[in-house]
Amino acid sequence: MNKYKNMTDEDLVISYMDGDAKAFDEILSRYQSTLFTYFVYIVKNEDEANELFQETFVKVVVHLQTRRYKSMGLFRYWLLRIAHNTISDRLRRSEFKLMTDANTDNDLTRLNNDSITVDSYESDIIRMQTYDKLHDMVEQLPAEQREIVYLHYFEELTFREIADIMGISINTALGRMRYAIINLRKMADFKVL
């Protein structure tokens, strides 16, 4: 049995900082899929996602080897923060533009409403088709809005956690989610017409 599988992230990090390279292999295997999916979702390009992934883990290694990580039980958030900063740096270099068109109609509760779910074969098919359409629309959002949607709905992070990871205020995180919802509604209205 692999002793590393039962270790917490924090224990693995401490072991790695103390010179155990296999501990880092376990960290990498735990987060490789999550981070790569995160990068692909945001930048929509596998080659660039690979570059971002490698750049992120180089930063992680450097931080750990220089002991700039302080163990507080928050390794996952720390890692996501580095990943976010890596994406932000890349987007700034490519002169990323944020689409913002405000609308007063904003109801975030509709995205997670169990009352619209009906347990039947037809509803499962409709739900899958709706999910596919929603996924396609989310893919069209600007990267900063896509990232908020991804972290909140797929990683199930709170807006406070997202704000900490992204280095923004909670109001900015909520505002970006609001703009994402507004833009999704516009796309949905356009597709209906």
* pLDDT, tens digit (0-9, with 9 covering 90-100), for 129-143: 666 677 778 888 888
Share above pLDDT 90 across residues of the chain, in percent, rounded to a whole number: 4
State residue 141 phi and psi, 5-degree precision.
-70, 155
Rounded to whole angstroms, the Cα distance separating 138 from 153 reads 11
The answer to whether the pTM exceeds 0.85 is no
Give tens-digit pLDDT for 151-169. Answer: 887 788 888 888 888 889 9
Q: What is the mean pLDDT of the chain?
A: 77
User: Tens digits of per-residue pLDDT, 29-83?
Assistant: 999 998 998 888 888 888 888 889 989 988 888 888 888 887 777 888 889 889 9
**Residue that wins the pLDDT comparison between 21 and 132:** 21
Q: The tokens of 85 are what?
A: 């900063």
Alpha helices in 44-158, H assignment, sequence order: 46-65, 75-93, 121-139, 143-149
Q: How much is the pLDDT for 125?
A: 62
Work out the average pLDDT over 158-181.
Answer: 87
